[in-house]
Chain A
C-alpha cells in the first residue's frame, strides 16, 4: 500500500484549501455573517427579545 492511501479521507479534506469554491466540506466555514438564523433556538430567542422590547416588558 502506498503511503498516500493510508491517509484517512477527512485528513485529505482538511488539507484542501477551503477558499476554493468547489470545496464540499462544511468544516470551519465562518463566511456566513447571519449564521445564527439557521438555528431555531436562536431565532425564537430573538423573537422573544423583540416581543419583550416592543411590549416594553421590564426585563
Chain B
C-alpha cells in the first residue's frame, strides 16, 4: 500500500506529519518504508537518522515509486511536498492524503485543490483562536468522512526536532503525539478497508 502525503500549499508540515505517522505505524508493529520526492529531502531529518527500522526507498519519480512500494509489500509513506506529480499510474492501492493548515492563506487555495477522492489531515489546529477554529470546522464540513484526523498545534514537535529526538521519547504525553497515533490508527482502518474492497472487486471480476 502506497500512502502519498502532499499539500497544495507549502509550509503546512507535510514532512512532519508523514514522518510522525510513519513512526506511529512502526510503534503499532507495522512494516513501514519511507520515500521522499521533494527537493528539500527533509523526511529523514524528521524521522531521525538513528531510526534503522524504517527503510528509505531511493526514488525520484512517481513511476519509480509505485513498483518500489509494491516490491516492499508493507506500507510506504511518501512525501510529495507541495508538488502534485502527474503520473500515468492507476489509483489502485494508493491513498492520497492532503495536509491542510487552518490559516487564511491555505483556506484561500483550498477550493482550487479540493478533491473528493483525497483524504485530509488538518495540521496545527488551534481552538483558542477564532479563525483557525472556524477554518477547522469549515474543512470538516467540506471533506466530511474524508477527514483522517486533526493534529493540534504543539510546540513539543518543534522542541523534539531541536533536541534531535523522536517525539515519543522527548514528549511521550504531548497532545500532538496522541493525535499522530489517532491518525495512524484511522489510516490503518482505511488501508484494511481499501484492501478488502479491492479483494471483493477482484473476486467479483473473477466470478
Residue contact B137 to A36, C-beta cutoff 8 Å: yes
Does any Cβ of A come within 8 Å of B192's Cβ? no
Q: What residues of B have a CB within 8 angstroms of the CB of A28 in the complex? A: 128
Q: Is the interface of B mostly helix, strand, loop or mixed?
A: helix
Question: When chains A and B are docked, how far (Å) is the Cα of A27 from the Cα of B2?
Answer: 43
Residue contact B134 to A59, C-beta cutoff 8 Å: no
Q: Is the interface of A mostly helix, strand, loop or mixed?
A: helix
Residue contact A38 to B111, C-beta cutoff 8 Å: no
Q: Which of B21-29, B41-49, B102-110, B180-188 has 4 or more CB atoms under 8 Å from chain A?
A: B102-110
**Count of chain B residues with a beta carbon within 8 Å of a chain A beta carbon:** 21
Residue contact A49 to B111, C-beta cutoff 8 Å: yes
Q: How far is the CB of A41 from chain B (nearest CB, A)?
A: 6
Q: Which of A30, A45, A59 contacts B138 (CB 8 A)?
A: A45
Known contacts A41-B104, A49-B142; is-contact A30 B112 (Cβ 8 Å): no
| A→B interface (CB under 8 Å) | 28, 30, 33-36, 38-39, 41-42, 45-46, 48-49, 52-53, 59
